[in-house]
Amino acid sequence: MDNDQLPGYELSSTRAYGQYLVIQKAFNKDKCIEGVALEVSTQDLKQADTYEGPEYKRILVNLKSGKEAWVYVAKQP
């Protein structure tokens, strides 16, 4: 596992259900979220989609390393 960064996104001050972190597109393009990208199977993604539920959508993003990754963002009301 290698550390990576998600540029152009930040943690929202709002938490889903009052407790879960939410990421959002940042107004300041210099913002980024640090983390680790994990390799998962198609079945794992299906399970994650079910777990995250209809309040979130999965989007494909480019990480600072140049790798692509799926992340979940809250759907806009």
**pLDDT, one tens digit for every residue, the chain (77 residues):** 789 999 999 998 888 778 888 899 999 989 999 999 999 999 999 999 999 888 889 999 999 999 999 999 887 66
How many CB atoms neighbour CB 5 within 10 A?
Answer: 14
Residue 42 CB-density burial (10 A; 0-12 exposed, 13-18 middle, 19+ buried): exposed
**What total number of domains does the chain contain?**
1
Distance (Å, rounded) from C-alpha 32 to C-alpha 27?
A: 11
Chain centroid to CA 36: 11
Give the domain extent around 66: 3-74
- Note the pLDDT of residue 39: 92
Q: What is the pLDDT of residue 77?
A: 60
The partner residues of 71 in beta bridges, in order of sequence, read 59
pTM: 0.84
Residue identified by tokens 């009301």 is 77
